[in-house]
Amino acid sequence: MSRLQRLALAGLLAFALPAFSADDWVARSNANAQSVLKVLADFSPESASSLGLPGYDEGVFDLRPGVNDRFRAASAAAKAQLQARRSSESDARVLQDLDIMIAATQRQIDSSRINEKYLLPYFDIGQAVFRGEFGLLQDEVAPARRKAALVRLKRYTGLEHGYTPITELAKARFEEQAGNAALLGPVKQQVEKALAGTPQYIKGLRDLYAKYGIKGADKALDTLEAQLKDYDNWVRERVLPRARDDFRLPAELYADNLRNVGLDIPPEALMQKARLSYAEIRNEMQAIASQIAVQRKLPDSDYRAVIKALKQEQIAPDQVEATYHEVIARVEEIIRREHIVTLPQRPMQMRLASAAETAAQPAPHMDPPPLIGNKGERGTFVLTAGNPGSDGKSDGYDDFSHKGATWTLTAHEGRPGHELQFTAMVERGVSLARSVFAFNSVNVEGWALYAEAETKPYEPLEGQLFALQARLQRAARAILDPMLNLGQITRERAHQVLTDEVGLSNGMATQEVDRYTFRAPGQATSYFYGYTRLMELRAQTEIALGDRFDRQKFNDFVIGQGLLPPELLAKAVAEEFISQQVK
């Protein structure tokens, strides 16, 4: 992951503000957070505005000279303010929140240093500009705010006085370090995919400006197109010669990635856990596949053959969205009937991704709602249909466009998974420290996999089989991502495991290996680990409470804690939830 992506992610996390609670301690804790929030907004204003923070709609991310040093200095000053407040605070809850924010700020400083130590500063500017513009050019964004996209575009291109084209700033940051032969260039495939994505981003932006009828953008769009083409030519001349075929990261950098996603055990221990689960999940898949084969009179009951047969029943392209909306309604019915968790008041929405969105993020995902001053805007479950290759052509998926897969993907990205997580933060409200600075992928993805498991028993057999396939994929991630980055397996063999054993399409398997090797090395380990930690906590709580255990109360409590990491969530369950139930 490039430094730009890390900074954008930092901004995203830093501005996931829930509605303020009326509790005095929450208000005090949120006040403590403002100095750190300001730092992150100054360096990634696009993320701030996307999540509703006023005053940043026209801002562009900082690539000016000395950005790394300035970011670390500003973060250190904010951390010092938090430490000073800690010395005069007596409330245990506020103290814990201060500790969360201090630790999160220090991680950002450490990661900035480690990335600067090892990597040349290469930026996928086409993707970054598209995401910055797309944050404002959406149906859920108020029309009055969309005009700021043109101001932002003029700043990206340097058409506004006082701004240098972002492409020129990106070139300058690379050239500053290009003479250092010890620094690693980006992975060659990463650069090639970025170059192939530029036409999609340009077309995607022109389509968005036309869709929303924003006038006067032609000059800025033409300028951006010319600048991105020039930038791509420069990348071919200057960056590709420094690009590497060996995707492996230095040990210190990979370890930092794992810490940032929330992994607190060595990768070797994670792989050991995942191998056991991998074998057990396949056994369970075989039992269900055999039942499906009998029901459907299939000639081969092997789970791989059954998956292949079910995937052939593809939903007509013009019926995919309608089919998912039907499944969303049925999953919500299950949630209510089985008392799994309290559903949000606002309805859920889902749509198909555009070609430009798919180029930026080829995996299905959830776009969170504005969490600052939310006025009814909703998050969106976004379904992608392929993985754009380095030649610009999409390697299509058959993984999500058949009925068996609709159940678990809805549970993961929608309800009771990610969409419910973020909507609950809008509707309930928790402190910034517990919803923002305690965030990591282990917490977020752990809940989404747990949500899949909660709905699986009530789905049709086909849905259950693909729920287990998705769980097998996450166990494979926890094995293959570390193996690849530790040099214990090749890309080709990892790809083969995903297609031949897990049953993914070629396009989806390629997307997976890309994720492990250059899109986000280490991040894929978080799904399996977060799921195991949450299931362990669930079992521990059931054993402690016996017949006093109430699933809906437990799940509501977990959601109400925001995005706490496993150790803090376990502490809250032990000290608050269990004690409340035994009274």
Q: What is the pLDDT of residues 147-197, one digit of tens each?
A: 999 999 999 999 999 999 999 999 999 999 999 999 999 999 999 999 999
Q: What is the pLDDT of residue 389?
A: 64
**Among 118, 143, 170, residue at a domain's last position:** 118
Residue 413 in this model has a pLDDT that exceeds 80: yes
> Which residue in the block uniquely carries the two structure tokens 């006040």?
31
* Residues 1 and 100 grouped into a single domain: yes
Q: Is residue 240 situated within a structural domain?
A: yes
**Among 118, 148, 165, residue at a domain's last position:** 118
Between residues 398 and 378, which one has the greater pLDDT? 398
Lowest mean pLDDT among 50-54, 224-228, 408-412: 50-54
Q: What is the pLDDT of residue 390?
A: 60
Residue 22 in this model has a pLDDT that exceeds 50: no
User: Structural domain of residue 159, as residue ranges?
Assistant: 121-246
Q: Is residue 252 situated within a structural domain?
A: no
Q: Is residue 542 situated within a structural domain?
A: no
* Residues 228 and 266 grouped into a single domain: no
**Among 103, 118, 133, residue at a domain's last position:** 118
Q: What is the pLDDT of residue 44?
A: 93
* Residues 392 and 479 grouped into a single domain: yes
Tell me the average pLDDT across 290-296: 98
* Residues 134 and 113 grouped into a single domain: no
Residue 13 in this model has a pLDDT that exceeds 60: no
* Residues 103 and 130 grouped into a single domain: no
* Residues 378 and 522 grouped into a single domain: yes
Q: Label residue 391 by pLDDT band (50, 70, 90).
A: low
Q: Is residue 573 situated within a structural domain?
A: no
* Residues 164 and 76 grouped into a single domain: no
Burial 21-47 (b: 16+ CB within 10 A, else e): eeeeebebbbebbebbbebbbbbbbbb
Q: Label residue 23 by pLDDT band (50, 70, 90).
A: low
Lowest mean pLDDT among 81-95, 370-384, 514-528: 370-384
* Residues 321 and 401 grouped into a single domain: yes
Average pLDDT, the chain: 91
Secondary structure, 3-state, 34-98? HHHHHHHHHHCHHHHHHCCCCCCCCCCCCCCCCHHHHHHHHHHHHHHHHHHHHCCCCCHHHHHHH
* Residues 525 and 402 grouped into a single domain: yes
Q: What is the pLDDT of residue 422?
A: 86
Between residues 252 and 51, which one has the greater pLDDT? 252
Q: What is the pLDDT of residue 14?
A: 31
Distance CA 559, CA 417 (A): 10
* Residues 305 and 442 grouped into a single domain: yes
Q: Is residue 85 situated within a structural domain?
A: yes
CATH of the domain at 112: 1.20.1260
Q: What is the pLDDT of residue 430?
A: 75
Q: Is residue 423 situated within a structural domain?
A: yes
Residue 128 in this model has a pLDDT that exceeds 50: yes
Tell me the average pLDDT across 547-574: 93
Tell me the average pLDDT across 459-475: 98
* Residues 68 and 125 grouped into a single domain: no
- Please state, in angstroms and as integers, the Cα–Cα distance from residue 110 to each residue in 69, 106, 253, 262, 308, following that order: 12, 6, 10, 15, 46
Q: Is residue 574 situated within a structural domain?
A: no
Q: Is residue 580 situated within a structural domain?
A: no
Lowest mean pLDDT among 23-32, 93-102, 364-373, 440-449: 364-373
Domain count, the chain: 3
Q: Which of 93-97, 152-156, 386-390 has the highest mean pLDDT?
A: 152-156
Residue 556 in this model has a pLDDT that exceeds 90: yes
Tell me the average pLDDT across 455-476: 98
* Residues 434 and 530 grouped into a single domain: yes
